[in-house]
Structure 1
Amino acid sequence: MASSQRVTQARSFTCASRRQHVKSARPDDEPALSTHLRQLMRKMPHAAVVATTSTGGPASSSTSNFRGMTVSSFTTVTLTPTPIISFNIRRPSRTLDAIRQSRQFLIHVLSATEAGASVAHGFTKGNSTDVFAKQQFAVWNVGSKYPLPLLSSPGVTKVLRCKLRDEGEGAGLIEVGDHILVLADVESIIEPPPTKDTAALEDTGLSYVDRAYREVGKVIDVLDTEETEELER
């Protein structure tokens, strides 16, 4: 039988009744190589998730201490013995400052649906406006002085509770050029608050390709090497 490999297909989701592109900050004097690589990487699919954290303060209905951002560099580093994830944050960042202070955060895994794309798009505008006031959310108290904002939305499939790594150089925050590489342990996987149309775990995760949110496309069948050799005989 032919083996299969999943790839992404160009189907994008609309937000706020029209297609939305996330604008990336690019310096005017960016080297040609950097621009070329940027254009190349835009064609590569990246997972789109939302990270939320807090600067501290008592658990209340106030959202002034909450911070959040959409991340397209999220990935797993290892699964054993302790699951470790990573992503990048460009400096300066209020969300990064809050993660540095609290050393913990939540990663919201989003479904490849318009609901998931809407959550992701809502957190691309920074923390200058109170984005949490525009989202359904709940405060999940982790038993410390830093209650974490857990989003409740049909587009959220699972939530990862993460804590910055305490071991190694940089202790979970490593400077790389104008970015910070975040390394964190996954302490638990949380079921998000149920909603009327909550996505199933089987739904594929939200992807970001060519400045648009997309879903996984068709399966491409690939012949096994041994099968190919037999056909050529």
Structure 2
Amino acid sequence: MSLHKLAWTLPAKLHRTFPTFSIHSRLISTHHGVIQDVRGIMRKVPQPVVVVTTSKPDNIHDRRGITVSSFTSVSLEPDPLVSFCVRIPSRASELLHSSGNMVLNMLSHEQVQQSIAFSSPTSEQFKDIPFFDDPITGLPVLMGTVGAMHCQLFKVIELGDHELWIAKVLKVEQGVGGEHGKREESNPLLYYERAYRSIGDQVFMKAFEDDCEGSFNSIKWMHRAHLRMAWNYIRELGPDAAEPKIKQTLRSHFKRNPKKSQDYHETITSFYIALVSAAVRSYKGSEESDFFELVERFPQLLDAKTIDKYYSADKLYTDEARRAFVLPDIQPLPTHLQ
């Protein structure tokens, strides 16, 4: 029997001692409903994709970039102010605090690759990304953007698991060095009307799904990218409905990249779908977290030897296992992860 029903059946004296439970339950329910409503309406609001870049004052080679959320113009007078949000704790937050200065790069329609590069906490973010170091500030500026704002820290407010950065704009550069001289480079990269994801996952999934001509081979769609794609579909559709979608997406991807046509393996794919699903079930915060938190909590997702704990080589590396799913012979597929 629920607490709500129980409260109605208790004697009057006892009833007076329990009302907070019913009220608290309704408040939680209402709060959860508001969160879902906000998510729903924000899907319909187009927003620009912005990469904030910075570097250490005493070492310009210690650079960092981050694809941020909630970018907006705050005010124009007496000084132009803009804001953006940064997840904490993060290396980007630490470096921004260390520098106090940053460049806000407004990505163009053709810069999905840059969005992906700077939504991942890797040490080689700037590899193969066109940029230059500003001759005065030494800050990295991305090439091919709609424009860039050179900013200085005005105020930081910590809100939950994010920091709200308010920055003063010192200089604006319009259309920073287009790579191809095409009109499309002046159009901003936007996201909207998709299942709720972080900006990084929004553009990541767009790139993965739209990779019709293998144009993103340089990003190296390897194991980590496949896991991230699967994680997004599992969150959006649930494990059962996501499985055929994940497999269809991977088959199409391999087909469009002839050099990888021999890489698709039905049993390995099914195993990692089960592994990601188990991780999502095991982590209560997964609905509110991001992919990087998930792989940090469950490093076995990225460990190439994890599958060896479930399958022997004789069972896994066969034509039968490549063509169709076969059950593991060492231990059952995981349902939860430690």
TM-score of Structure 1 vs Structure 2, range by shorter chain = 0.5 to 0.7
Residues matched between the structures, number: 166
Whichever structure has more strand as a proportion of its residues is 1
After superposition, the Cα gap between the structure-2 partners of 1:42 and 1:53, relative to the gap in structure 1 and judged at 3 Å, is: same
Provide structure 2 residue ranges, at least 5 long, that are not aligned to the other structure: 1-30, 207-338
For 1:201 and 1:158, locate their aligned partners in 2 and report how far apart those are by CA, in whole Å. Answer: 13
Cα pair 1:137 1:149 within 8 Å, conserved: yes
Say which structure is richer in helix: 2
Structure 1 stretches lacking a partner, 5+ long: 1-30, 166-171, 215-233
Residue 128 of structure 2, aligned match among 106, 109, 134? 134
Find the counterpart in structure 2 of residue 11 from structure 1. none
* Partner Cα distance (1:142, 1:103) in 2: 15
Q: Taking structure 1 as reference, are residues 57 and 37 closer, same or farther at Cα in structure 2, changes over 3 Å only?
A: same
Match of 1:95 in 2: 92
What percent of counterpart residues are identical? 31
Residue by residue over 1:58-82, the C-alpha shift from the partner in whole angstroms, topping out at 9 and shown as x without a partner, is 44xx4xx101111231100011221
Determine the structure 2 residue equivalent to 1:32: 32
Whole-angstrom distance in 2 between the partners of 1:182 and 1:46: 17
- 2:162 maps to 1:179: yes
The correspondence of residues 141-152 of structure 1 with structure 2, limited to 5 A, is: 141-143=135-137, 147-152=138-143
CA distance in 2, matches of 1:82, 1:69: 25
Q: What TM-score do you get using the length of structure 2 for normalisation?
A: 0.44
CA deviation after TM superposition for structure 1 residue 38, in Å = 3.0
Partner of 1:120: helix, strand, or coil? helix
The Cα RMSD (Å) is: 2.5
1:170-221: CA deviation from partner (whole Å, max 9, x where unpaired):
xx1111122111001000012565344246699332211125459xxxxxxx
Work out the CA distance in 1 between the residues paired with 2:158 and 2:180. 40
**Highest CA radius of gyration, 1 or 2?**
2
Q: Give the SS at the match of 2:113.
A: helix
Instruction: Return the alpha-carbon distance in structure 2 between the equivalents of residues 39 and 56 of structure 1.
Output: 41
- TM-score for the superposition, normalised by structure 1: 0.63
Q: Distance in 1 between matches of 2:176 and 2:190?
A: 23
Asked if 1 retains the 8 angstrom alpha-carbon contact of 2:146 and 2:176, the reply is no
Please give the secondary structure, in 2, of the residue aligned with 1:173.
strand
